[in-house]
Amino acid sequence: MRRILDKIRRSLSARLSIWVVLFSAIILLGTLGYSAHVSRNYVRMEAIKRASQVLDNSVLRLANILEDVELAANNLEWLVYRNLETPERMADYTRSIVEGTPSLSGCSISFEPDYYPGQRYYSIYSGRVEDDSITTIQEGNDNYQYWYLGWYQLPKLLRQPCWTEPYSDWEQDDAADLQTQMLVSYCKPLTAGDGSYIGTISLDISLKWLSETLASVQPYPHSYVVLVSRGGTYLVHPDPDKLFYETVFTPTLTGQEPALEALGRSMVGLEEGIRTLEIDGQKSYVFYTPLKSTGWSMGIVCPERDIFGGFKRLRRLVIGLGLLGLLLMFLVCFRVIRKTLRPLSNLAVQAGNIADGHFDTALPETPREDEIGTLTRSFSHMQSSLVSYIDELQRTTAKRERIEGELQVARNIQQGLIPRTFPTRADIDLYGEMIPAKEVGGDLYDFFLQNGRLYFCIGDVSGKGVPASLLMAMTRTVFRVAVQKAPAVTDIARELNEALSADNEQLMFVTMFLGVIDLKTGEMNYCNCGHNPPAVLHADGKASFVEGEPNVPLGVEPAYVFRGGVVHDVRGIPFLIYTDGLNEAENADHEPFGNDRLLEVMGSAPYQDAAEMIVRLNEAVKAHVAGAEASDDLTMMCIRIRKP
């Protein structure tokens, strides 16, 4: 799944296709949903119309049957009244009525006990048997006292014709083939002129026959007709376990069946209507209408799947076709978009190659005038510009590398001018270090021994870089020459000043502290030409600056008269000379290292030797600047003359 999503994420064609299909799907679903709603209503209306027609036809059919029965009953009544004095003819009447009325399963004329003197039971019954022949019997006896039965009593009590509730006439043990008959009867009272009750005429319809007759009516494959009596009993139902044995209310006795109960009440209340409810686990529509003359109600139960079966099949087909169409649309869109965007893909690949450094990668030629063509041409232009720029960059880089190489050479040369070998004599403890801020620096230090004297200097050329380094080299050379010409430090300074002032069109200058120490006496003569004062570490471990006679820097003022200073005996006293790259070294917040810290570091530990002092100061500066770029060269030299 993740791979598919990744592919989609990386494919513009896929994403565009999905959006198109999604949008189409929404439109399709909306259209289908609306048409389904409209179609469903239409199908429902058609179903109602169809079921109502079938129901009306069934009711009409049943009404015809019942009318035949009632007509037969009227005829029989007329015959009975005319022939009350000849009871033996009653058998002929019942038989002929059954013969002439196909819907009847039987017919009886029953009289009150002892109506005919000497005959307690007089009930003549004619009924159909299995081979459709008609048998006639006298059915009253001690075990079958018919006047206690509902079909006899009902017209007697109501004194009007009526349809009975369904009943089983199983008591007729002398007519075994009739025993299982479930019947409903139309009964008429027979009364004498004085209003006394004579007997009951009963015309029976078999529920089984009625069910079979009406069951043939089926508006839908699984629909069926039900007929319920005044008491809700099923007079017609396809389920033999329900026919006669159950009423529409039976399931409501032990369970909550509000929909069924409402339907039952509506039906026995002789209302007309349509209801939807679950019957035997499936949602069904029940269309029902009353037969008011009987108190019965007929209904047609249509499972929803029958009514909407075709509609649902069509809906499934449309949805299937829709989905297939969307799939095809996706494939076509994907293909078309991918073809359209293929130059972009190629361009993306070529751009990748270019990005990998293959600047000579040829971009595809395109005749297209659309955005993709414009983009391709713009990209081609960008490629040529990029190639030119890269060439220029390469040339510049080569030039720079050459200059850097030359600078490195210059640096080596400059470093070579600085003495790296320090005296190993027991009476001289000297160490120095110069760290240029750039490839080459403008600081210098120098020292050498001559005639029992130690000559030394430290200087800082104005400016930085190559000009400063050139002036530094010249200054160092002049210092060595001047020492040979004039051993006094003020004379050396004057010589240097004269040399640096001559033709100084760039107005460059050098600050310098220079000195000479007589190693025998420890006397030190010095001259500070505009430079930082040296720092001295006293015997008590504290350091301080030694302020001497101030002078201008070298190269500033020709013919300047330099004043020097003298320390009669420096033996045993370590002192530090340095450039401003030490005390002015700045950290990232532009805070200088400072003079106080310089003195503090010097006195922070017992003095060991000059090299250790330089290392300690160097580390302190590094800790202070904390990686910030050095803005100036850093040069230090520490000297201590030991007593013999």
Kindly state the smallest distance separating residue 5's Cβ from other proteins, in Å: 57
Nearer to other proteins, 257 or 495 (CB): 257
Q: Does position 586 bind other proteins by CB under 8 A?
A: no
Nearer to other proteins, 121 or 562 (CB): 121
**Cβ neighbours of residue 465 closer than 8 Å, sequence gap 6 or more:** 438, 439, 440, 442
Nearer to other proteins, 137 or 483 (CB): 137
φ/ψ (deg, to 5) at 276: -115, 135
**Stretch binding other proteins (CB under 8 A), from 154-162, 212-220, 585-593, 601-609:** 154-162
Residue showing tokens 């196909």: 102
How many positions of this chain bind other proteins (CB under 8 A)? 45
Q: Does position 167 bind other proteins by CB under 8 A?
A: yes
Q: Does position 201 bind other proteins by CB under 8 A?
A: no
Kindly state the smallest distance separating residue 241's Cβ from other proteins, in Å: 8
Tell which residue, 462, 449, 433, has the closest CA to residue 582.
Answer: 433
C-alpha span between 625 and 627 (Å, rounded):
6
C-alpha span between 62 and 291 (Å, rounded):
9
**Stretch binding other proteins (CB under 8 A), from 130-138, 162-170, 414-422, 489-497:** 162-170
**Stretch binding other proteins (CB under 8 A), from 215-223, 264-272, 540-548, 593-601:** 264-272
| Burial group, residue 174, by CB count within 10 angstroms (0-12, 13-18, 19+) | middle
Q: Does position 158 bind other proteins by CB under 8 A?
A: yes
Tell which residue, 460, 469, 487, 411, has the closest CA to residue 579.
Answer: 460
Q: Which residue in 76, 93, 126, 166 binds other proteins (CB under 8 A)?
A: 166
Kindly state the smallest distance separating residue 329's Cβ from other proteins, in Å: 57
Mark residues 210-249: x for contact with other proteins by CB under 8 A, - for none.
--------------------xxxx-------xx-xxxxxx
Q: Where are the alpha helices (DSSP H) in 366-464?
A: 371-417
Q: Which residue in 2, 4, 117, 148 binds other proteins (CB under 8 A)?
A: 148
Nearer to other proteins, 93 or 249 (CB): 249
Kindly state the smallest distance separating residue 211's Cβ from other proteins, in Å: 15
Handedness of CA 321, 325, 326, 331 (dihedral sign): positive
Please, are residues 429 and 402 in contact by the beta-carbon 8 Å criterion?
Answer: no
Tell which residue, 88, 83, 111, has the closest CA to residue 196.
Answer: 111
**Cβ neighbours of residue 365 closer than 8 Å, sequence gap 6 or more:** none
Q: Does position 179 bind other proteins by CB under 8 A?
A: yes
Tokens read off for 77: 């009544």
Handedness of CA 105, 111, 114, 119 (dihedral sign): negative
Q: Does position 170 bind other proteins by CB under 8 A?
A: yes
Restricting to residues 529-548, name those near other proteins by CB under 8 A.
none
The kind and range of the H/E element at 523 are: none
Restricting to residues 106-145, name those near other proteins by CB under 8 A.
142-145
Kindly state the smallest distance separating residue 233's Cβ from other proteins, in Å: 7
Residue showing tokens 């200054």: 475
Q: Does position 588 bind other proteins by CB under 8 A?
A: no
C-alpha span between 565 and 133 (Å, rounded):
165
Nearer to other proteins, 166 or 548 (CB): 166
In three-state form (DSSP H/G/I as H, E/B as E, the rest C), the secondary structure along 592-616 is: ECCHHHHHHHHCCCCCCCHHHHHHH
Kindly state the smallest distance separating residue 277's Cβ from other proteins, in Å: 15
Q: Does position 261 bind other proteins by CB under 8 A?
A: yes
C-alpha span between 106 and 185 (Å, rounded):
9
Q: Which residues pair with 236 in a beta bridge?
A: 227
Strand ranges in 265-386 using DSSP code E only, listed in sequence order: 273-279, 282-291, 296-303
Task: Please give the order of strands across the beta sheet that includes 428-435.
Answer: 428-435, 634-641, 575-578, 535-537, 543-545
Q: Which residue in 41, 53, 180, 450 binds other proteins (CB under 8 A)?
A: 180
Q: Does position 26 bind other proteins by CB under 8 A?
A: no
**Stretch binding other proteins (CB under 8 A), from 30-38, 173-181, 362-370, 463-471:** 173-181
Nearer to other proteins, 148 or 420 (CB): 148
φ/ψ (deg, to 5) at 250: -55, -50
The kind and range of the H/E element at 317 are: helix 309-355
Q: Does position 383 bind other proteins by CB under 8 A?
A: no
Residue showing tokens 């595809």: 364
Nearer to other proteins, 119 or 345 (CB): 119
What's the Rg (C-alpha) of the chain? 65
Nearer to other proteins, 125 or 249 (CB): 249
Q: Does position 264 bind other proteins by CB under 8 A?
A: yes
Kindly state the smallest distance separating residue 135's Cβ from other proteins, in Å: 19
φ/ψ (deg, to 5) at 197: -85, 130
Nearer to other proteins, 179 or 521 (CB): 179
C-alpha span between 274 and 259 (Å, rounded):
12
**Cβ neighbours of residue 626 closer than 8 Å, sequence gap 6 or more:** 587, 588
Kindly state the smallest distance separating residue 187's Cβ from other proteins, in Å: 11
Nearer to other proteins, 207 or 454 (CB): 207
Q: Does position 250 bind other proteins by CB under 8 A?
A: yes
φ/ψ (deg, to 5) at 143: -90, -10
Please, are residues 181 and 128 in contact by the beta-carbon 8 Å criterion?
Answer: no
Kindly state the smallest distance separating residue 276's Cβ from other proteins, in Å: 20
Q: Does position 151 bind other proteins by CB under 8 A?
A: yes
Kindly state the smallest distance separating residue 166's Cβ from other proteins, in Å: 7
Q: Does position 498 bind other proteins by CB under 8 A?
A: no
Nearer to other proteins, 209 or 456 (CB): 209
Nearer to other proteins, 233 or 583 (CB): 233
**Stretch binding other proteins (CB under 8 A), from 5-13, 174-182, 319-327, 571-579:** 174-182
Q: Does position 105 bind other proteins by CB under 8 A?
A: no
Q: Which residue in 66, 79, 124, 182 binds other proteins (CB under 8 A)?
A: 182
Specify the 3-state DSSP secondary structure of 490. helix
The kind and range of the H/E element at 2 are: helix 2-10
**Stretch binding other proteins (CB under 8 A), from 95-103, 106-114, 259-267, 591-599:** 259-267
Specify the 3-state DSSP secondary structure of 169. coil
| Binding positions for other proteins, rule: CB under 8 A | 142-146, 148-151, 153-154, 157-158, 162, 164-168, 170-171, 173, 179-180, 182, 230-233, 241-242, 244-251, 253-254, 261, 264-265, 268
